Amino acid sequence: QVQLQESGPGLVKPSQTLSLTCTVSGGSISSGSYYWSWIRQPAGKGLEWVGRSYISGSTNYNPSLKSRVTISVDTSKNQFSLKLSSVTAADTAVYYCARYFWGSFDSWGQGTLVTVSS
């Protein structure tokens, strides 16, 4: 069974770039018709899709974040990553990496809290 694990700094200063990595284990990131996604959740609030990438490099982003988001896949490391630039306090959230298949997200990481504060 595939497992996903987020990693990265838990504290980012305003205006800087948030960088997270998701490591996939128990399966190859290159196999199957999967997209690799990031979803976030501010404390006590609902879920917001951030974006996704396929192994080919094809990406889709939430229009509300598109100008600041980059998602990429590294097949050699079985990882994918998220970069979110020019962060503000509104970007403080738990960030989840997830695997997308056929309209839904069937595997999720445990989530990592990122706080934007000086």
Partner 1 sequence: EIVLTQSPGTLSLSPGERATLSCRASQSVSSNYLAWYQQKPGQAPRLLIYGASSRATGIPDRFSGSGSGTDFTLTISRLEPEDFAVYYCQQYDSSPLFTFGPGTKVDIK
* Residues lying near partner 1 in the complex (CB under 8 A): 37, 46-49, 52, 60, 62-64, 96, 102-106, 108-111
State how beta strands 79-84 and 18-25 pair.
Answer: antiparallel
Cα–chain-centroid distance for residue 83? 8
CB of 81 to partner 1, least distance (A): 18
Given the complex with partner 1, which of 45 and 77 has the nearer CB atom? 45
- Give the integer Cα–Cα distance in Å for 108 and 39: 9
CB of 76 to partner 1, least distance (A): 26
CB of 98 to partner 1, least distance (A): 8
